[in-house]
Structure formats: structure tokens, C-alpha cells
Structure 1
Amino acid sequence: MQTHQYDVVIVGAGGAGMRAALEASTRVRTAVITKLYPTRSHTGAAQGGMCAALANVEEDNWEWHTFDTVKGGDYLVDQDAAEVMAKEAIDAVLDLEKMGLPFNRTPEGRIDQRRFGGHTRNHGEAAVRRSCYAADRTGHMILQTLYQQCVKNDVEFFNEFYVLDLLVDHDLAAGDVADGEEVNVSGVVAYELATGQIHVFQAKAVVFATGGAGKIYKTTSNAHTLTGDGMALAYRRGIPLEDMEFFQFHPTGLAGLGILLSEAARGEGGILRNADGERFMERYAPTIKDLAPRDIVARSMANEVREGRGAGPNKDYVLLDLTHLEPAHIDAKLPDITEFARTYLGIEPYTEPVPVYPTAHYAMGGIPTNIEGEVLRNETDVIRGLYAAGEVACVSVHGSNRLGTNSLLDINVFGKRAGRSAAAYAATAPFVELPDAPATTVEAELETIRTRGDGERVADIRRALQETMDANAQVFRTQESLTQALADLKSLRKRYQAVSVQDKSRTFNTDLLEAVELGFLLDIAETVVVGALNRAESRGGHFREDYPNRDDERFMRHTMAYRRPLASADKPAGDGAFDHTEVFDDYQLVLGSKSVTVTRYQPMERKY
């Protein structure tokens, strides 16, 4: 076991992690731990753009952006966070431009902007051009730009190190820490892929920026590595996960594959059509049509299919039509996504519409934080020295449905804030003493799986998990489907106790790490399903066919999911609708709630 000591340790090297590293590394000694080479992080897959009310192309302002974010999130957005994000969006874009990011330009030389779903002028009057973009490779450009800046500023990276435990000085999972009692982070434990060695990183501050968990679903735009590691590690340590039932299904995944075709295609004039050639979004969102928020478009597409208006031999998808656009325009603005259609489906977008269907894309929920990136362990108390940013976090700027291009903005605004806050804290805080034998739990878990004889195969359990989530907890949900998903998850949890791997080596053992990641996926899927079962309403990305209306009286609160031992008497406060406990083999999932911050915009019916 090797021990390292840094003021700030950042876990994850995507956009949020590297933006945090740029802020922290100029102030205190900082390390970035990442299970991938940094430029392989999933931020690089984001295509469409990063929104800010620059008003470079047409009239816009940050207040309209704030309102669109709140309305798009179906009023579960914490409005103080939305205001921060919209206000700081302009500087976030300009910061990247000064770093060298090659945004597309207007003829006058300004940063060009395109339309995106749910972004409107004057509180819904019409779609507005707010998304700053670099063709359809914006996330890739952001990732490369931030990495170059990190290299320039001598940020220390530990590549292909898997963080497998979070160290805090109180046992939050036991549920016996009083409200208001001080809890401090002391570091993380990581596994080095190249050697099989365990490393302990002692830190005054830790920033989680580990991304999402889309691989709980079979049909997803997410890479194989997005297994919810940071969320699950926090959850296992007794930190709650907020609003996990809200998962976004991006409307335009390549049919049958899930590979993403950016919303930029519709922003540039692409039209969704059913088998009859009808532009069906005119029926569902007559004002902004194909540029409605993603949850509305995804449900509309799924509804067209199930009512028999789907295209193709099995009538199981709809069509994204770009054929009315000039080929030169497509090549200039959408080069990558059109190449995806040619490569994966053999479709020529110049002359043929592209088959598309919703794909699991983004977790609105995650580790609860305040606007400074500090992690909350209940409604009010922070864990000193622990921060989170990006998709792993839930500052609740997205509420129950994220608007397109708010994610690349989120990672830059709150990545910067988390890095700055972590550095400020670490500049004066002492190191917290590490626990005795800090790596014992990780070593025991790895050795148990590595040395186990014949048992369950990782791929078999993962496939069963993804199939039940696709079938029972996707765009449309019911009590019956979610109950089936929960029963399947409990069965899979038992099977996971006997999981084994074929590779018994100690170096470059990705088989072993996939087994560990499978455990994380099961943790996350359980919080999604239990939260969805308990939330007997429809809001944003969570649509219950048996409860099709939004219920602000009972459910205008954030869900908080806590993992506790079976013997624990602790029961986080859950007033009425959130008073629920689900028992698993050796632990219980206890639901609580947290209030929604409302500043300027009172909830109203969501129409487009």
C-alpha cells in the first residue's frame, strides 16, 4: 500500500474535474485521480453546445435563461442555483474562449449561437439562439482545451487509478451521527490498474467529479465506463443521493443502438416525423415543436410508436429528417453526427431520414451539494472538505429535466466553484487523521471477488440489470413495472454475492474492476427504482402513467435516498409522501426529503 498526501484530491478528469483542477492547482497542491486517460472522459462525447445568454445573434438575457431552466426542470430546480448558473454562464464561455476553444463564429467574428430545446426568448415567446458551439464536437473541444490548460499549469494526474472508497471520520452509514455534528473527509482509497496496488490519498479536501450512471440501462448514449462510481461510494458511506428517480432519455439516439445524434440537428432545422411523414411535434408542443424540452419530445416519440405510427418494418422508431437542409450546411454544422448515421446505420442523411428513438442519457440526481459545491449529508449539514460537481452532483440546477446544453455549462460553472471552494478550505484546514488500516475494506472486497471459484458471470448479471431497467423504468413507468424492476434488482443483488471473474491476475485486471462497477450499478439502479415507486406523480423525466399529473402539494420536494444498516433506528425525516423504507438483504434504503429553493418563479403549468 502506498500513501500520498495532497491538499486537494479531485476524483474524475472530465470537464468538471479538470475545471476544478485549474482553480485548485494554482492555489494549493492538487492531484487528479482518473480511471481513464483524461481526454477519454465522457465530456468528450457531448456534441451540441454550451449555453449562455451572450446575445451575440439575437436578443437574450440571463433572467430568461434562468426561467427556462426552472420551467424546463418542471419547477423542481433550486432557483438560487439556476440564477448562479445563468449569471456566470457568460464568463464561463468567455473563459474557455480565452483558453483557446475554437467556437464557431458569426460573419462578424463573434461566437455563433444556435437554438436548443426549451431555450426561449421572453419567457416562452419563441426559441432563442443561446447555445455556443464548436460544430457538433463541443464537449470534445472543451475536454481538449481544459486538458491542455491543466498540462500547462502542471496539474498532477494519476491516470487509470480507480477510486474505490471514500474516507470520512464518522460512520454516517450507521446513522448515528447527530444533526449539526461535525463530519470531516480524510481522503480516498484507489486501485492502480497497471500494478494492482492499493493507494491511499490523504487530503484536506476531496472533489468528486466522476460523471453519470447511464449503464444501468441497456439502450444508452453513455460509455461503458459510466457506472455511477462516485454516487455509489458516497451512498455506501451514508451520504444521501438526491432525486435519483429523474433520469433523462435523450430523444434522438440511433434506433436500436442508443448512439447519440445531438439535439443540434433539430437546432439547425431537423424535423421529427412519424411513418406517415407527419411533423408530429406540432401536436404535442405547438409553440416550439421539435425544440421542446427533452422529456416532452422523448415521450411524444415513444407515444407515436406505441400508437402505431412508428416507422420501419417493426414500427419501432421515428425519423429525424435533415433532407431539406443544404448538404454544405450539414457538413459545416453537423459533421460528426451525420457520419454516425452513415457508419452505424448505412443511412445517407443528405437524402434519407435517420431512424431515431429515445436513449438513456443523463442523471438529473446525484450527490446533494449547495451552490459552492459542498456535499450535504442531510438538508442543511455539509461534510467538511467534501465537494462534488458535474453529473455526479445534484446542486439541483436541472430539477426533474435538464435542458440541452445546460450540462456543459454546469460542469464549467460548478466545477470552477467546487475547485475554488476546495482550495480555499484546504488552505487553512488541517489534515484529518486517516483511519486504522484505511484500505482494509477495499482489499478484502477485491480479493474475495478475485479468488472466488466458479460463480455468477459479471456480464450475465449486468445484462439482466440493463434489460429490466429498459423494460420497466424507462420513459413510461407504472406501479406494476417498477415493482417488477425492484423484484428483479433484489434477485440480482443476491446473485451478485456470488459473482466471480475469469481473470485472476493482479495487473491490468479489467475483469475484476467490471465486477466492482457492477456493484455500483446495482446500488444506483435501486435508488432510481425505489425513488420512482415512491413518487406517485409525473414530473419532468419521471412519467408515471398511473399518476399522469404533477402533484405539487405532496411531491414538491427533493427525494433523498439513504443507505442504512438493517438494525439502524435512524430514520431520516420523511414527511408523509416521503416516509418509505425498502429492505434489502443486509441493509435498508430509507427515503427522506429536502425542500426546493424557490426565489422568483412560482410553480405553474408547464406548456410549450
Structure 2
Amino acid sequence: MIIYDIVIIGAGLAGMRAAIESSKKANVAVLSKVYPTRSHSGAAQGGLNVAIDPEDSWESHMFDTIKGSDYLADQNAVEMFCKEAPSAMYDLDHSGLLFDRKEDGTLDQKFSGGASFPRNCFGGDLSGHKILHTLYEQLLKSNVKVHNEYTVTKLIIEEGVCKGVVAYDLRHGRFELIRSKSVILATGGYGQVFYRTTNDAINTGDGMALALREGISLQDMEFVQFHPTTLYGTNLLISETVRGDGGYLLNKNNERFMSRYVPSKMELAPRDIVSRSIQTEINDGLGIDGKDYVYLDISHAHQSGKFDITQRFPQIFEIAKKYMDVDIRENPIPIQPAQHYSMGGVKTDMMGKTEIEGLFAAGECSCISIHGANRLGGNSLMDTLVFGKRAGNTAAEYSINTKLKAMKSNFLEIEKKRIRSILSQEGNESISEIRKQLRETMSKKVGIYRESSPMKEALNLIKKLQTQIQMITIKDKSSVFNTELLDYIELEYLLELAEIITIGAINRTESRGSHFRNDYPQRDDENWLKHTLAKKCDDGSIDIKYDKVYITKYPPKERKY
């Protein structure tokens, strides 16, 4: 048995920021499925929204965020977030992060979708990568113990208190009990629920599913962000900042079609609107060569001498050339929408506290809620920094004022018994086939456009697959690096979260932000200006309740751009 003051699950931006902050006061460990610099945070390209220009203000950032959320964001949390963003930005800057700068040495900023001011700070198109490595440098300077290739399979919650975790150590092939005074979930999103996603293979919603199993509320899970511009065929991210630098969206007629949807914002409308616009063009047969993609063209900026694309967007230049043999200096990029982000997650307060004593959450796996029904580009990276720091500090304060609580049950043996039962299953079902069915169904029937009947069909299939998974035979019986067992565990997580997403989407009979229903195309504040809270009951059924949205400065009104 290993003992720490704080165990942090996940080594992305939120997890590392929490670790750096909490290690100032407590003995901290980070458990990560991958080496920290391989975390999916590194795939983020765009940048961070922060109001630091003298002509900008946190109030403007706050309003843009609330309007972008389709008024579902909690405004007290958004206000705090926007006020603390500059401090988080300067923390990074003083840590040596190389952001792009203007000729006078000040930080360069550009527009992102839904913003009324250019407040996006960036490091080329490698912002997430640069932040991840900068935080890892700071983590190495601390006394934090990092356990790589550890997958947490159970939260230890007893008598309403979180007392640690059980984790699978892949390298040594053993399950370990790790005790702690507190636990911080920082496991990122669940992108692998969907067939088309920008998310890495490791993004299987582990923290959300672990919390759900313990009867902890997941909030607003029906709100799934689909990024408008991902590379056709691979769904690798093509940053919103390409459009922020003047990129055009074009259909097969070479028309900048956003003029028909949001002429005031064009390509820089919020992501939910742009994704629906692109999908509508495709559905109406206006995709390129009749296929399910349109063009994103930034070549004019290079050819006019505005900037050198290979310097401004080195990663995107390489991605387009490598995977599609497209030179973006001369030709447009074939793009299509794909799942990108979860606005929902483990319900927390502004300090990262969950409903369970000693359990905290930060980053994409949490829901505070500052993103509401739709997140603005540039707000997620800042979210990880502001709330990673807050959760780390809160967990540290809790831990130094709390004794390690005794554990009455033998959770390690209970979990080992569950894993043995999985390894002893027999049947003809396939992990890959069940996963494929789930992901294709979710993309097709619980995607950008939704309707009651297809979503109910998806829910029925999910429940069927939850039964079929019990008929999978794990052929690999070894203990060290049993990736087949890991695939099974992650598939369980995906099926559980897909059920919550779909139930929430079926129940919400309105259209708001990323949740658009053809059968209920209007926003309905009278009945649906509220958060969805989903819990799993002891019998496996899902209990749905609702909670109020905090409105402070900006009463809801029609969302026009």
C-alpha cells in the first residue's frame, strides 16, 4: 500500500497545474495512463483567452463566454474565471513559455470564434504542446511523485469520504491500493465515445465514469462540442486560429457560405453554429465533389505576404502535407466537423469540490459550469490553468487539516475479484466490434443534429452492448501490459458515459448551444434554463434531476451574432 496526502488522476494541463500548486503544501502523487508529455492536452493548437489588452476587459470576456454558452453557464463562476485568467497567463509567461509576441515585445493576440475582441494568446499552432512541456518542467522541479502507465479502476469511497484509489500498474502487472486524504480527478474528456473525434485514443472519460459508478452527479453531459474544422478522413484538429487569421470556409461552388448563416461573424461565429453550418452544406449536397467535407482556405494570407504559413502554422502545414498531401500555401484544406470537447462532467463548485468529501475535479472531466451549452475556443486551456490551480490549492488545504481516515473494507481484494471475473468471462463478442458499433451510432444518431427517434434507437443499442460486453473473452491472461484488459475497462467507461449523454439529450426537448434538435429547434428558457444532473443508482438505473443556472449580470436573451 502506498500513502500520499493527495492523489491526482491525470497528467494533462489541469492535473499538472493542480499538482504544482498542491505540492507547495502537501505530499502529492500523479497517476497517468501515459507519460505526462504524451497527455492529450498537448494536441491543443489554438491558445488561451485572456483580457490583458488595455482596450479589453474581463467584463467583455465574461459576456462573450456567457453568450457563447447560450446562457447556460453559471455567471458567478464565469466572472471569477475571467478575473483570474490574467494571473494564470502571467504565471505561464514567467515560467518561460514562448508565446508569440508583437514587434514591441508585448503578447500577440488574435480573434477566436464568438469573441468580440482579439484576446487569444498563442504559441504558433502548438499552444497546448508548449504549455504542457512548460508545466512539466515546473513539475520536475517540485517534489511530486509521478506514476506513469497507471490506470485507476476504482475510487475508494466509504461513508461519504474519498480515501484513495485502486490502480492497475501496467508495467509491473499488478493492482495497487493507493491511500490518500484527497483525490483530484483530472482525466480529460470522453472523445472515444464518438467515431469522428479530435481526441486521442486515451480519452475514454475515465474520471467521469469512475465518479458515476460511485453515485456522484455528472452535469450537462448532453452538451457535446463538435469542432467545425478537422482534417477530412483523420479528424486531426485544424485550429480555429486559422479562421482567426482570415481563413475562408468554402463549399463546392467556391462560396464563402457562412455569409448565409452568420454574416456579421462569418467564419468566426461560435463553434456550434459553424459546425451546424458546415454540416448543413454537406447535407444539402454542397460538400466538395459531393463528399462530406468542405474547404478551409488560408492560402491567400501566405500568397499576399501577410505571414509565412510554415512559421505561423507549422503543425497544421505538416499535418495537411503528411496526411492529405495538401500544401496549404497553395491549396485549401479539406475539413469536416468532429467531436472535440465535453461541456459536461463531474459536478463541482468553483473550488473544485465535488459532492464527496475529499474528492475534487478539474479540467474537461469537471463541470463548474463556465462553458454552459457551448464552449468558446480559447477558454478550455485557460480553464485547466485557473481551475487546476484552484482544485490543487483547495485539496492541499483540506489535506493538511485532515487525518488519513481508516478504511474498513478491503477495496483492493474486492477490485481484484472484479478483474478476475472479467478475465474469466467466455463468449464470442469482440471489444473492437462493440466499440465500433457504439462510436458509429453515437456519431450518426447523437451527433450535430439530433431527433427523438434516432436517439432512442441509440440508447437501445447502448443497453444491448452493455449486455454483450459481458460475453467478451479476454484472450490475454497475462498481468504485465495487458492492453486487452485495458481496452475492456475503457470500453466499459465509454458505454456508461454514452448512456448518460444520450439520456440527457433525449430528455432535453429544446435546442441550446451544441445540443440541436430538429424536432425541437427553439431554445426554451421557460422549461430548460437549468442544468441536468445524472446519477447512477445502486440498481444500475439512471436518476435525472435538474439544478438552477446562476444568473448574475446578464439576463438570458436571444443569442444573435
- When normalised by structure 1's length, the TM-score is 0.91
Query: What pairs with 1:486-505 in structure 2 (closer than 5 Å)?
Result: 486-505=459-478
Counterpart of 2:445 in structure 1 is 472
Are residue 116 (structure 1) and residue 112 (structure 2) matched? yes
Task: Find the residue that maps to 1:326 and give its secondary structure.
Answer: helix
Asked if structure 2 preserves the Cα contact closer than 8 Å seen for 1:202 and 1:434, the reply is no
**Residue of structure 2 equivalent to 1:373:** 352
Equivalent in 498, 501, 507 of residue 528 of structure 1: 501
Which of 153, 158, 168 is 2:157 aligned to? 168
Indicate conservation of the 8 Å contact 2:426/2:471, yes or no.
no
Contact 1:264/1:334 (<8 A) preserved = no
How far residue 445 of structure 1 moved from its aligned partner, in angstroms, is 2.5
Q: Following TM superposition, by how much is the alpha carbon of 1:501 offset from its aligned partner in structure 2, in angstroms? A: 2.1
Please name the residue that 2:75 is paired with: 79
1:270 aligns with 2:223: no
- Number of the residue aligned with 1:125: none
1:554 to 527, 536, 544: 527
Say yes or no: does 1:305 pair with 2:271: no
CA drift of 1:438 comes to 1.1
Q: 2:14 aligns with which of 8, 13, 16?
A: 16
- Structure 1, 395-404 or 434-443: larger mean CA deviation: 434-443
Q: Which residue of 2 aligns with 1:51?
A: 49
Deviation at 1:454, TM superposition (A): 4.3
1:196 aligns with 2:169: no
Out of 93, 97, 101, the residue aligned to residue 97 of structure 2 is: 101
**Match in the other structure for 1:580:** none
Q: 1:285 aligns with which of 249, 258, 262?
A: 262
Contact 2:425 2:470 in 1 (8 A): no
In structure 2, the residue matched to 1:159 is 148
Q: Find the partner of 1:339 among 318, 342, 350.
A: 318
**Are positions 1:593 and 2:546 aligned together?**
yes
Asked whether the equivalents of residues 185 and 432 of structure 1 are also in contact (C-alpha less than 8 Å), the reply is no
CA contact (8 A) 2:219 2:347 kept: yes
The CA deviation string for residues 582-605 of structure 1, in whole angstroms up to 9 with x for no partner, is xxxxx2111111111111010000
SS in 1 for 2:112: strand
Deviations, residues 334-368 of structure 1 (Å, cap 9, x unaligned): 11012111111111111111111101000000000
Measured after TM superposition, the shift of residue 329 of structure 1 is 2.7
What is the CA-CA distance between 1:514 and the residue it aligns to?
Answer: 0.7
Q: Secondary structure at the match of 2:119?
A: strand
RMSD: 1.1
Counterpart position of 1:406? 379
Please tell me whether the aligned partners of residues 229 and 336 of structure 2 are also in contact (alpha carbons under 8 angstroms): yes
Larger displacement relative to structure 2 (346-355 or 240-249): 346-355
- Is the 8 Å Cα contact of residues 36 and 159 (structure 1) preserved in structure 2? yes
Q: Give the Cα separation in 2 of the matches to 1:392 and 1:12.
A: 10
1:139-179 alpha-carbon deviations (Å, 9 max, x no partner): 00110000010101121101111111111123xxxxxxxxx
The answer (yes or no) to whether the contact 2:302–2:308 under 8 Å persists in 1 is: yes
- 1:29 maps to 27
CA distance in 2, matches of 1:470, 1:440: 38
Q: CA deviation at 1:423?
A: 0.3
Indicate which of 286, 289, 292 corresponds to 1:316: 292
The residue matched to 2:456 in structure 1 has which SS?
Answer: helix
2:299–2:330: 8 Å Cα contact kept in structure 1?
yes
Cα deviation, residue 474, structure 1: 0.4
Partners of 1:458 and 1:501 within 8 A in 2: no
The reply on whether 1:90 has 2:86 as its aligned counterpart is yes
Aligned equivalents of 1:435 and 1:465: distance in 2? Answer: 38
Match of 2:517, SS state, is coil
1:484 aligns with 2:461: no
- Which residue number in structure 2 is paired with residue 177 of structure 1? none
Deviation per CA, 1:45-95: give whole Å up to 9, x if none.
Answer: 000101101117xx2111000000000000000111111111111011100
- Per the alignment, residue 210 of structure 2 pairs with 233
CA distance in 2, matches of 1:443, 1:498: 19
- SS of 1:238's partner is coil
Of residues 400, 404, 415 in structure 2, which corresponds to 1:431?
404
CA distance in 2, matches of 1:442, 1:271: 53
Question: C-alpha separation between the residues in 2 aligned to 1:20 and 1:471?
Answer: 36
Q: Secondary structure of the equivalent of 1:253?
A: strand
Gaps of 5+ in 1: 121-127, 171-182, 377-382, 567-586
Question: Residue 15 of structure 1 contacts residue 143 of structure 1 at CA under 8 Å; is this kept in 2?
Answer: yes
On the 8 A contact 1:564/1:589 being kept in 2, the answer is yes
Residues 43 and 129 in structure 2, CA contact (< 8 A), matched pair in contact too:
yes
Distance across 2 between alignment mates of 1:601 and 1:212: 29
Please, which moves more after superposition, 540-549 or 191-200? 191-200
What is the Cα deviation at residue 109 of structure 1?
0.5
The residue type paired with residue 347 of structure 2 is: P
3-state secondary structure, aligned to 2:534: strand
Instruction: Indicate conservation of the 8 Å contact 1:187/1:434, yes or no.
Output: no
1:80-127: CA deviation from partner (whole Å, max 9, x where unpaired): 11111111110111000111111011100011111100111xxxxxxx
Structure 1: how far apart are the matches of 2:68 and 2:414?
42
Cα deviation digits, residues 19-70 of structure 1 (max 9, x gap) = 00011011111111111110000100000101101117xx211100000000
Between 40-49 and 253-262, report the one with greater CA deviation: 253-262
1:260 equivalenced with 2:237 (yes/no)? yes
Cα separation, 1, equivalents of 2:3 and 2:389: 22
TM-score, with normalisation over the residues of structure 2? Answer: 0.98
**Match for 2:147: what amino acid?**
F
- 3-state SS, counterpart of residue 364 of structure 2: coil
The residue matched to 2:550 in structure 1 has which SS? coil
Asked if the contact 1:189–1:200 (Cα under 8 Å) also holds between the matched residues in 2, the reply is yes
Contact 2:426 2:472 in 1 (8 A): no
**1:415 and 2:388 correspond:** yes
CA–CA distance in structure 2, aligned partners of residues 442 and 282 of structure 1: 56
Query: What corresponds to 2:62 in structure 1?
Result: 66
Q: Which residue of 2 aligns with 1:579?
A: none
CA distance in structure 2 between the aligned counterparts of 1:255 and 1:298, rounded to whole angstroms: 14
Report the Cα distance in structure 2 between the residues aligned to 1:508 and 1:469, rounded to whole angstroms.
29
- Higher mean C-alpha displacement, 447-456 vs 524-533: 447-456
Within 5 A, what are the aligned runs for 1:441-480? 441-480=414-453
- Percent identity between the two aligned chains: 46
Deviations 1:393-425 (A, max 9, x none): 000110010000100000000000000000011
Instruction: State the secondary structure of the residue aligned to 2:384.
Output: helix
